[in-house]
Amino acid sequence: MTYNLRPEIKIKQDSQTWTSYDQIAEELNQQFVAGKKKITLECYPGVDLSELEQQLFSKLTDVRLVKADDYAYDAETVTKKIAANLTEDRVFGILSHATLDEFYPEYEVKQIQQELAKEQKNIVVYGTGATILLPNPDILCYADLTRWEIQKRHRAGMPNWKAANEHEDNLKKVKRGFFFEWRVADRLKQKLTDQMDYLIDTNVPNQVKMVDGESYRTALDQIVAQPFRLVPYFDASVWGGQWMKEEFNLDSEKENYGWAFDGVPEENSLCLNFSGTKIEIPAINVVHQRPISLLGKKVHARFGNDFPIRFDYLDTVGGGNLSLQVHPRVDYIQEKFGMPYTQNESYYILQASEKSTIYLGVKEGTEKAELFDELHRAEKGDYRFPDEKYINCFPVKKHDHYSIPAGTIHCGGPDTVVLEISQTPYIFTFKLWDWERLGLDGIPRPVHLVHGEANVNTDYDTAWVQDNLINPFETLYEDNEGRVEKTGLHELEFIETHRHWFKKEAKVKVHQSVNMLNLVEGEEITVESLDNSFAPFEIHYGETFIVPEAVKEYKLVNQGDPAKEVAVIQAFVRNLA
């Protein structure tokens, strides 16, 4: 298989890039010589400031360095200020609506600004919040970092911003990032994009790269005018399988891969190739900075600068069951966590065997009180929850598609590869039962029975599930060239999915929405423009890709065996007009 583990976007326009600390230092020193004495280097939380100090600032001439983080409130004060957002829960918090300046005492900011106004030396203010201390510099640099790299650094011991939590449970570090840090940092980054003179990629330790701001903004314009792929990443799980390891040519030394994040702009990155210099940026930057071209006017009007569709893989081939779980109702997630909408989802079965199953909905006559009495008993240990008494278990086969609206108890079974197609708020999974397992960290995985009991809908029982959630296929169009099927999702979910079968080619409309797609059958296709506005874009089996709404209409062309049908699953936001 030719699954591309490192897709990149070739930027057409010539650009200025710098590929080492020495080159970046030379460029900044030249700015000083040119009379631009004040430089702000704003940093996303998690950027290694000690590396910048050692590798970059030591090479600058006649400079006063000001570390912005030192002027923010201390770790204890910041943690107290966001206590309501963090909550006592190990996994879930409440979304912060704060801005970064709220964590800088006004008197400290005024004092340092008065000092800097009198400073005769060259000035570099750096760190998270640098633009709060020096908001109108001669030169604005932004040091960026992807979410996956941040999470890996947390696992290796890095604390959160303004938090003395090096040894804290990693789930709590991710929670602090998700509910607080990333929100305030993204709000600031959105404001600074049009002002940036330079963007710095700090994802690989000691291998920094930089591109000029104008080239970066031009690249954003190009991205939302063509199909593109995100850079996928893969992670182990207690239930993880072996299929992706083999089929996607992953590290054979790893015990398993349960997750593949191949279509999650909030988590994934983009690799931009500027004439040979590859700059990696968080994919969420494109969503925040070019939302209307990417999402479309109607989707943007409903979701703002938020990407509402998510694709990922769940692999249990040679592994075990997922956790038994449920997702929250919309009113619940809004009230308890400050999220605007919930994680309705679906399971598209990419691979299956005779052992493959899905747990979906409760059995007829199940009483919620009795169900949760059993789950609470199992939570205490030394008792196996009798899932066969309460939960439906259905066999699945390749190309089945199961809708899972919020409130439905569900769980993926063994020996299955699931393409999970869902609405984006991905962190809100209420585990109910985890088959007596420990997490990869040796600690029992958290269950959330209080949240679960408030959200499980026992009306979603056997008959209802069979009538509403299992393979609700409908042929929308068919001719000698191919067919288009509606495969879901349930009417309570805002995502629509169409499956395109064809041997030669298929024309596809975006339906006034950004499209997320995956080649679920076949070897290779190209995504082609109807007006030659972008070059043919190559897609291999299992690869997820995005087509911006601005493209309007495009063509899928089979590049494999012309005698065999290929299939592409297409997801978009339903137009309710």
Which pLDDT score is estimated for 424? 84
CA distances 494 to 328, 335, 484, 513, 555, Å, are 15, 20, 19, 12, 25
Q: Taking the complete model, does pTM exceed 0.85, yes or no?
A: yes
Q: How far is CA 415 from CA 281, 290, 315, 350, 543, in A?
A: 35, 40, 8, 11, 20
Q: List, for residues 55-72, the tens digit of each pLDDT value.
A: 999 999 999 999 999 999
Assign domain 21-207 to its CATH architecture: 3-Layer(aba) Sandwich (3.40)
Per-residue pLDDT of 209-234, as tens digits, reads: 999 999 999 999 999 999 999 999 99
Residue 40 and residue 134 in contact, taking contact as beta carbons nearer than 8 Å: yes
Q: Do domains 21-207 and 474-573 have the same CATH topology?
A: no
Q: Does residue 42 have a pLDDT over 70?
A: yes
CA angle, residues 178, 180, 181, in degrees to nearest 5? 85
Is the model's pLDDT at 115 over the cut of 60?
yes
- Tell me yes or no: is domain 259-274+293-468 CATH 2.60.120.10: yes
Sketch the domain layout of the chain as residue ranges.
21-207, 259-274+293-468, 474-573
Is residue 225 exposed (0-12), middle (13-18) or buried (19+ Cβ within 10 Å)? middle
Lowest-confidence pick of 189-198, 248-257, 271-280, 433-442:
433-442
Nearest by Cα to 152 from 57, 229, 77, 261: 261
Mean pLDDT value across the chain:
96
Q: Is the alpha carbon torsion for 155, 157, 163, 168 positive or negative? A: positive
The two three-digit tokens of residue 474, written as one number: 């409908």
474-573 in CATH: which number?
2.60.120.10
- How far apart (Å, rounded) are the C-alpha atoms in residues 84 and 90? 13
Q: 148 pLDDT exceeds 90?
A: yes
Q: Measured in whole angstroms, how far is the alpha carbon of residue 120 from the centre of its chain?
A: 44
Contacts of 218 (CB under 8 A, 6+ apart): 11, 13, 15
Res 316: pLDDT: 97
**Mean pLDDT, residues 477-506 taken together:** 95
For the cut 70, the answer to whether the pLDDT of residue 1 exceeds it is no
- Which segments of 383-423 does DSSP mark as H helices, in order? 387-390
**pLDDT for the residue 577:** 57
Give the per-residue pLDDT at 382: 82
Phi and psi torsions of 279, nearest 5°:
-110, 125
Q: What percent of the chain has pLDDT over 70?
A: 99
Q: Each residue of 134-147: pLDDT tens digit?
A: 999 999 999 999 99
How many Cα atoms sit within 13 Å of 546 on the Cβ side?
34
* Banded model confidence at residue 575, pLDDT cuts 50, 70, 90: confident
Which of 27, 325, 346 has its CA nearest to residue 198?
27
Residue 262 and residue 556 in contact, taking contact as beta carbons nearer than 8 Å: no
